[in-house]
Amino acid sequence: MSTDADRIVGLYDRHASTWDAARSRSLCERPWLERFRALLPPAGSVLDIGCGSGEPIARFFIEAGYRLTGVDSSPAMIALCKNRFPGATWNVGDMRTLSLGQRFDGILAWDSFFHLRRDEQRQMFPLFREHANAKAALMFTSGTSDGEAMGTFEGEPLYHASLAPEEYRALLDDNGFEVVSQVFEDPHVGGHTIWLARHE
């Protein structure tokens, strides 16, 4: 499985247009995006880690007047973002080495962070902290228990991993984040397990 984890970046880059066409624009995520937004100052800054093609989540924040910075390891995905939303800031980059030299009012890792190996997920929490303003919101999706799981996309293996919930809570606490809301397999959002936290 670890080899499959190494292939994630190439997989999304090769199939960026297919993924973009298949990505629902229904915004079933809206209730959670609204909870996240309620913790942000008006016209605040949002960092979207693993932003994909910018549809529909980045669009939600851009159209609501937030200053959006998107990061994705796929050049093809970022090209789509730049074409659609030239007024936002887009960066090709690996979230595991994130170092933007600035802090944000909100940090989002929706359906992206869970493609990292478990040890890499642990290492992300200090990076979240380093990019968080005081009172910043952090929201990410995860699995429900410690382990690895495989899916497929375009006939290729699609790697996922998760830590145990108690470890996520400990990592958040150790890095100065307090859990605001957490739901396992929310049926209203396609069964996503969602964490919403706030920095001290």
Provide DSSP, 41-84.
PTT-EEEEET-TT-TTHHHHHHHTT-EEEEEES-HHHHHHHHHH
Three-class SS of residue 1? coil
Which residues, at least 6 apart from 132, have a Cβ–Cβ distance to it below 8 Å?
A: 103, 104, 107, 138, 176, 177, 199
> How far is residue 177's CA from residue 200's CA, in Å, rounded to a whole number?
6
In the chain, what are the domain boundaries? 2-199
Which residues, at least 6 apart from 74, have a Cβ–Cβ distance to it below 8 Å?
A: 9, 12, 13, 16, 52, 92
> So what's the architecture of 2-199 in CATH?
3-Layer(aba) Sandwich (3.40)
Residue 114 has, within 13 A of its CA and on its CB side, a CA count of 26
pLDDT tens for the chain, residues 1 to 200:
558 777 777 777 887 888 788 888 889 999 999 999 999 999 999 999 999 999 999 999 999 999 999 999 999 999 999 999 999 999 999 999 999 999 999 999 999 999 999 999 999 999 999 999 999 999 999 999 999 998 887 888 888 999 999 999 999 999 999 999 999 999 999 999 999 999 99
Tens digit of pLDDT for each residue in 1-39?
558 777 777 777 887 888 788 888 889 999 999 999 999
Which token pair is 181? 């809301």
Confidence at residue 2, expressed as pLDDT on a 0 to 100 scale: 54
Task: Name the amino acid, one letter, at 145.
Answer: S
Count CB-CB contacts under 10 A for residue 133. Answer: 17
Quick check: 119 and 162 in contact, CB under 8 A?
Answer: no
